[in-house]
Amino acid sequence: MALKRVVVTGLGAMTPIGNTVDAFWQNLIAGKSGAAPITLFDVSDFKTQFACEVKNFDPQDYFDRKEARKMDRFTQFGMVVADQAIADSRIVESNFDPDRIGVIWGSGIGGLDTFFEQTKSYFEAGNKPRFSPFFIPMMIADITPGQISMKHGFRGPNFTTVSACASATNALIDAMTYIQLGKADVIISGGSEAAITPPGMGGFNAMHALSTRNDSPETASRPFDKGRDGFVMGEGGACIILEEYEHAKKRGAKIYAEIAGGGMSADAYHLTAPHPDGLGAKNVMRNLLADANLSPTDVDYINVHGTSTPLGDIAETKAIKHIFGDHAYKLNISSTKSMTGHLLGAAGAVESIATILSVINDIVPPTINHFEDDPELDDKLNFTFNKAQKRVVNVAMSNTFGFGGHNASVVFKKAE
């Protein structure tokens, strides 16, 4: 059967550098860091005392008090960005079939703070079971698409993908596939995460995964810089409305870009470390290009996973050079995590929006905080260091890799 084309018709974002898509994009191309000392809890005894928090977020600006208390922060983010994207797409103003609209979401951890607070209350009460009746539905990672569907009446496919930091990208790939196969007309997709919590920061500190540059939070996320010492935790969410092309055309929808393909692979190597030769990263990009029927020379920009970890940045660079050959030196490469921090399971959604906007605007956002070249990397590659660059971007891809060796990539093209 001929696969249906899938396009992007709505966007929503709540990030550490902007609580709307426009604010996010303007701060992204301006090279603004979202890192600052943590305000959400007391970090006096933590190795890392900073993160990329969402700024000026008050749940009561979006929900009534009772409703807000029934949602973990990660679901609140998801609901807000879904509302933004749905309004942007104008899908509910169209003559739509609710049975043909689904919600496929990504979250790597889910309600971590809810789990922590409820467990803490249990022990503080002397091991007496005084749990909230909303504990389980607030905590489970799949609750966000459920909440979105209940609010808007969408009765199509509805679930959450969990693949660590590749979660939201896997959600986008699943959403695209369902539409390609004719199983839905529209999928509300994306991801949300809220892991800036005591167990979140403590757990990643115990793994030595986080930067400890407490004296300079805004320069701590340094992808591809010699002085990088780990990633910076981020939080927030993003939503992308995917729609079947003819369906979008028929209702006169605004089309931002076309999602042309998705790739997936596994490292099958280590719990947390990437394959040293970037084997999984090579395979996922190869699979992506094959799925999208693109050649390496078609790609103009890669929004890389680029977490600012010593091993990860090297492995991804090796993979890019292997897959793209001489064309690697004609690409723009950048890591927007240098500004947003790492949003874990939501990273793929936020970075896909950055990738889509680069295609629309012909601007590549920068990799900020580059101070010193790393001799283990190739300084002839264009990492778009420190300043955004203008260039024609017809095709751009976004890479995400997760603990457990999960790899997922998507590619976007200019809308025809």
Q: Using one digit for the tens of pLDDT, what is the confidence trace for 88-110?
A: 999 998 888 999 999 999 999 99
Cα end-to-end span (Å), the chain: 22
Please give the average per-residue pLDDT across 257-263, as a whole number: 98
Q: 194: helix, coil or strand?
A: coil
pLDDT for residue 223: 98
Please give the average per-residue pLDDT across 310-317, as a whole number: 96
- Residue 153: left (phi > 0), alpha (psi -120 to 50), or beta? left
pLDDT of 317 above 80 = yes
DSSP class per residue in 103-120: EEEE-SS-SHHHHHHHHH
- Residue 250: left (phi > 0), alpha (psi -120 to 50), or beta? alpha
pLDDT of 172 above 90 = yes
165 classed as catalytic: yes
pLDDT of 211 above 80 = yes
pLDDT for residue 130: 87
Q: What is the average pLDDT value for the chain, to the nearest integer?
A: 97
pLDDT of 31 above 90 = yes
Selected catalytic residue, list 275, 305, 370, 406:
305
How long is the chain? 416
**Cα–Cα dist 9/390, whole Å:** 24
**How crowded is the C-beta side of 220, counted as CA atoms within 13 Å?**
27
342 classed as catalytic: yes
Selected catalytic residue, list 165, 239, 247, 406:
165
CB burial of residue 362 (10 Å; 0-12, 13-18, 19+):
middle
**What type of residue is 171?**
A
Selected catalytic residue, list 275, 342, 370, 406:
342
**Cα–Cα dist 320/316, whole Å:** 6
Please give the average per-residue pLDDT across 338-354, as a whole number: 98
247 classed as catalytic: no
Q: What is the CA radius of gyration of the chain?
A: 20
pLDDT of 1 above 80 = no
